[in-house]
Homo-oligomer: A and B are copies of this chain.
């Protein structure tokens, strides 16, 4: 694994509550011994937790054998791709597979051409179900859901190398705060002269689409809204490839932008007040823990 993204490094960076205040260049391979010896106050306060509250200690504790196919060996190989070729494919593919399916298919089909199996046999089309925040429920934007699937498949187990969680959470954070869509396809199907841009401030399809249709005045069923989401999928696919190209070269050096189980002691977005208003409820704290000052 890349020393820059050892467990210890992520904990230290996460402890400053992200906001771009990453502490760069902290090395160490994050082995259990080194971690125990050099444990920081931040680490003591915020034991690493994945969404389900697991830790490296209680992960991988089952003795189940899931599958035995060669393609099941994980992570899968990666070779650098051209983000523009993938983005163009993602834009066109949106009209066939929706947001989530096209992000996965545009990236994995390029890898299938360059590497072959196991990518050739991955059932990309089935991820069309991600569209509209899964079956139209407006939950996680399919582009991000697809990005998470592709990143995890290529980068590998978060319990061995948190880089998967690091890259995924940073792309979700980037999505929330970017003026979307960024990528302009060669042959847009609508919004040909100009397009309205909006900042979702949320990884949820409902908020992302809702803010755009409100700002643009185009209904969700319009060709303009479809083109907007196709461009958004292309933008996310471009970003994922750009990021994986940096990662494979060992040049990905971002800190953690948001890791809720450490920040607020439970899985959550960053924008609590958007739903909770001023009275943001606090979950029960682990025994002996306290909320950080000013939080």
A interface list, Cβ under 8 A from B: 47, 49-54, 58-62, 64-72, 74-76, 89, 92-96, 98-99, 105, 108-109, 112, 117-140, 142, 144-145, 148-149, 151-153, 157-159, 164-165, 168-169, 172, 203-206, 209-210, 213-214, 217-222, 225-226, 229, 258-261, 265-269, 274-275, 281, 283-286
**Contact (Cβ within 8 A) B149 A127:** yes
**Contact (Cβ within 8 A) B137 A203:** yes
Q: Which residues of the other chain, B, contact A52 by a CB distance below 8 angstroms?
A: 94, 98-99, 131-132, 142, 226, 229
**Contact (Cβ within 8 A) A129 B108:** no
**Contact (Cβ within 8 A) B134 A145:** yes
**Contact (Cβ within 8 A) A135 B169:** yes
Q: Which residues of the other chain, B, contact A130 by a CB distance below 8 angstroms?
A: 148
Question: Nearest-CB distance from A94 to chain B (Å)?
Answer: 7
With A96-B64, A213-B284: A51-B138 Cβ-Cβ less than 8 Å: yes
With A172-B137, A210-B283: A96-B59 Cβ-Cβ less than 8 Å: yes
**Contact (Cβ within 8 A) B153 A126:** yes
Q: Which residues of the other chain, B, contact A51 by a CB distance below 8 angstroms?
A: 98-99, 131-138, 142, 205
- Quick one: which of A122, A139, A258 has the most chain B CB within 10 A? A139
